[in-house]
Amino acid sequence: MALKTPQEYLDDLRKMKIDLYMFGEKVENYADHPIIRPSINAMAMTYKLALDPEYEDIMTATSNLTGEKVNRFTHLHQSTEDLVKKVKMQRLLGQKTGCCFQRCVGMDAFNAVFNTTFEIDEAKGTKYHERFINYMKYVQEKDLAVDGCMTDARGDRSKGPGQQPDPDSYLHVVERREDGVVVRGCKLHQTGMINSHEILVMPNNTLKEDEKEWAICFAIPLDTPGMIYVYGRQSCDTRKLEGGDIDIGNKYFGGQEVMTIFNDVFVPWERVFMDGETEFSGMLVERFAGYHRQSYGGCKVGVGDTLIGAAKAIADYQGAGKASHVKDKIIEMCHLNETLYSCGIACSAEGRKTAAGNYLIDLLLANICKQNVTRFPYEIARLAQDLAGGYFVTMPSEQDFNHPEIGPLVKKYSASRAEVPVENRQRMLRLIENLTLGCAAVGYLTESMHGAGSPQAQRIMITRLVDLEHRKQLAETLCGIRENPDIDWK
């Protein structure tokens, strides 16, 4: 069985040597760095739950490549049932971590690269698919965490890769050697980068014919020479350095965003899965984005569950849980959250088999799903702030609660219902702060907006995927502009 334990996973990271910077300094032993560790813990949960018999059905699957049981995060979806279970797995992990757990990007990249390489090979006689199958076997056997990379630096947004003043604004091949290629560029907003073992890189967008050098897809280990990582800041990031366990809000888990620089990095041929096939870049991007837009119908719903739970808890603690407006707002939060879940389930249940054999979600409904994700979490967060009351942004620090002299006063005046320990209220308010303004808001709000493509990207896809002409004809038939061939009774 190829399932790693969380401890093994963590030890893997401890062995890795990478070039990582944070706050202007080089970071050593990053696996134990207090700012980074919560994101490693979140990833570790994907290992932990796969070993838990309670969750076996949704956390693991039987590999179509090896017949072995694998972590579903490394699985190639073999049915719509698999697609649905993926969403359920993501909701579960969102519930268990209360944040972005970061292993989906790789899973979504696996599935998109798998069926796109198949179609490239079919059309062009290349061997990318076979290479990729070998790679996937390796990933499944080692139970690796792999980060999928798509978003380039992009420079001037009004210009494409080939027209940028700096050609490196989009990652591209700068040298071709007998044994492989050398690439240069930078992938931004990389969620779950330095808690992964490997990186799977894809092009950022549909490319024109003369942009072949940007049409590159490949995988490398994280510690490949030439890789430079710069850790991104998040709201309230340094609270993790303060030593307490209350003001951080989420005691264990968090996300991670890394600027990932490819400073002339060599990739051997067996790890190259696309090289110059610009006509397939759009397919790869669209499918990866589609899978990832589906993902948000699971993970953000799970985080939403924790935020709903936090809102319910704080209302109860403070003695407001039975007010009718409070109950109604909680219903509204649930309604919005389950609507997102419905979209995640629907695009999965309506999936279809690709030529390569793995399953693709319904692309239109996946875009609908993500479009709602750019809206509803913000409203859920607003309602959570409504129910929390204002103390989560005015409460004194953890240290003040513990101060020998004023601590007792601070506690006295922070008390709510007699039977609720003051510390519980304090902890719950900090969790709400974390989810709506702090570290986790980065994942729950801003990433919901921009991850897997900004709202306008989905709207463009929606126009392309909805058949307006057909709808127009329906209307024209009903009002008598067109013949109605169906009516034959008198």
Size of the site for its own copies (CB under 8 A): 172
Q: Which of 180, 200, 371, 380 forms a contact with its own copies (CB under 8 A)?
A: 371
The neighbour count for residue 80, using CB atoms within 10 Å, is 18
If you ran DSSP here, which 8-state letter would residue 77 be given? P
356 is a contact residue toward its own copies (CB under 8 A): no
Backbone angles phi, psi at 27, to 5 degrees: -105, 125
Give the whole-angstrom CA distance, residue 103 versus residue 83.
Answer: 16
The CB-of-391 to its own copies minimum distance in angstroms stands at 7
Backbone dihedral region for residue 480 (phi beyond 0: left; psi -120 to 50: alpha; all else: beta): left
The answer to whether residue 278 is catalytic is no
Distance set, CA 256 to CA 63, 165, 195, 249, 426 (Å): 29, 30, 9, 16, 25
The CB-of-134 to its own copies minimum distance in angstroms stands at 30
- List the one residue out of 114, 137, 3 whose CA is nearest residue 63: 137
Q: Which is nearer to its own copies, 136 or 314 (CB)?
A: 314
The neighbour count for residue 226, using CB atoms within 10 Å, is 15
Residues 280-339 contacting its own copies, CB under 8 A: 305-310, 312-313, 316, 318-320, 322-325, 327-328, 330-331, 334-335, 338-339
484 is a contact residue toward its own copies (CB under 8 A): yes
Q: Which of 3, 153, 182, 283 forms a contact with its own copies (CB under 8 A)?
A: 153
Q: Which of 18, 21, 133, 162 forms a contact with its own copies (CB under 8 A)?
A: 21
Residues 241-260 contacting its own copies, CB under 8 A: 245-247, 249-253, 257-259
The CB-of-171 to its own copies minimum distance in angstroms stands at 10
Residues 422-481 contacting its own copies, CB under 8 A: 424, 427-428, 430-431, 433, 437-438, 441-442, 445-447, 449-451, 454-456, 459, 462-463, 466, 468, 470-476, 478-481
Burial 424-441 (b: 16+ CB within 10 A, else e): ebbbbbbbbbbbbbbbbb
Q: Which of 198, 213, 257, 398 is catalytic?
A: 257
If you ran DSSP here, which 8-state letter would residue 361 be given? -
Q: Which of 46, 97, 104, 277 is catalytic?
A: 104
Strands (E), 20-121: 20-22, 25-26, 60-62, 69-71
Show the binding pattern over residues 60-89: x = contacts its own copies (CB under 8 A), - = does not. --------------------x---x-----
The CB-of-113 to its own copies minimum distance in angstroms stands at 23
- List the one residue out of 94, 83, 85, 87 whose CA is nearest residue 45: 94
The answer to whether residue 172 is catalytic is no
Residues 259-278 contacting its own copies, CB under 8 A: 259, 261, 263
The answer to whether residue 257 is catalytic is yes
The answer to whether residue 413 is catalytic is no
Q: Which is nearer to its own copies, 141 or 338 (CB)?
A: 338
The neighbour count for residue 277, using CB atoms within 10 Å, is 25
The CB-of-365 to its own copies minimum distance in angstroms stands at 5
Q: Which of 47, 170, 296, 444 is catalytic?
A: 296
Give the whole-angstrom CA distance, residue 9 versus residue 197.
Answer: 9
Residues β-bridged to residue 176: 181
CB 458 within 8 A of CB 365: no
Q: Which of 191, 260, 374, 436 is catalytic?
A: 191
Show the binding pattern over residues 384-423: x = contacts its own copies (CB under 8 A), - = does not. -xx--xxxxxxxxxxxx-xx--x--xx-xxxxxxx-----
Residues 157-196 contacting its own copies, CB under 8 A: 157-159, 165-166, 168-169, 186, 188-190
The CB-of-472 to its own copies minimum distance in angstroms stands at 4
The answer to whether residue 217 is catalytic is no
If you compute the radius of gyration of the chain from its CA atoms, what whole number of angstroms results?
24
- List the one residue out of 244, 257, 255, 304 whose CA is nearest residue 430: 244
Residues 39-58 contacting its own copies, CB under 8 A: 41, 44-45, 48-49, 52
Q: Which of 299, 343, 347, 369 is catalytic?
A: 299
Q: Which of 100, 186, 217, 343 is catalytic?
A: 100
180-191/257-268 β-pairing: antiparallel
Q: Which tokens belong to 487?
A: 């009516």
If you ran DSSP here, which 8-state letter would residue 249 be given? S
If you ran DSSP here, which 8-state letter would residue 152 be given? B
The answer to whether residue 100 is catalytic is yes
The CB-of-228 to its own copies minimum distance in angstroms stands at 6
Three-state DSSP class for 352? strand
- List the one residue out of 363, 367, 370 whose CA is nearest residue 296: 370
113 is a contact residue toward its own copies (CB under 8 A): no
The CB-of-67 to its own copies minimum distance in angstroms stands at 27
CB 136 within 8 A of CB 65: yes
The CB-of-319 to its own copies minimum distance in angstroms stands at 4
361 is a contact residue toward its own copies (CB under 8 A): no
Q: Which of 127, 230, 266, 283 forms a contact with its own copies (CB under 8 A)?
A: 230
- List the one residue out of 183, 193, 357, 354 whose CA is nearest residue 273: 183
CB 230 within 8 A of CB 194: no
Catalytic residues: 100, 104, 191, 257, 292, 296, 299, 447
